[in-house]
């Protein structure tokens, strides 16, 4: 029997969600593209330190052209649209994104670590 090894995607995209994602990839509610939203390619992740990967530079989304609602979670995908949900987590503080707002993640604020997922029944 051949054992398959998953490969890491060549590119990873950060997105935002106003609802709690599920382990199976459902439950993600991203803002609309017509409101100026698009996922951001992560190009500035540092080397793992004690199992945690952080962003080495600021991450900035495009300016909103309409309200994005209240953002509660971040999501990581392997594609700029659609794709596979790789990871998600709740934000330390929810944020209401109004028209003409630029969402930024400060250097070192995005902290990624692997953990066994829990399935919500």
Residues 13-40 pLDDT 10s: 999 999 999 988 999 999 999 999 999 9
What are the boundaries of each domain within the chain?
13-109
CA dist 83 and 18 (Å) reads 18
- At residue 111, φ and ψ (nearest 5 deg) are -120, 120
Residues 38-71 pLDDT 10s: 999 999 998 888 888 999 999 999 999 999 999 9
pTM: 0.87
CA dist 75 and 81 (Å) reads 12
Rg of the chain's alpha carbons, rounded to an integer? Answer: 15
């Amino acid at each position: 029997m051949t054992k398959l090894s998953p490969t890491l995607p060549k590119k990873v995209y950060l997105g935002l969600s106003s609802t709690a994602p599920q382990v199976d990839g459902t439950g993600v509610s991203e803002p609309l593209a017509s409101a100026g939203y698009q996922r951001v390619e992560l190009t500035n992740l540092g080397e793992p330190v004690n199992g945690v990967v952080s962003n080495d530079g600021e991450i900035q989304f495009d300016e909103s052209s309409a309200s994005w609602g209240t953002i509660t979670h971040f999501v990581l995908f392997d594609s700029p649209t659609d794709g596979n949900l790789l990871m998600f987590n709740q934000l330390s503080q929810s944020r209401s994104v109004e028209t003409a707002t630029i969402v930024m993640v400060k250097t070192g604020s995005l902290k990624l670590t692997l953990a066994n997922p829990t399935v919500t029944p």
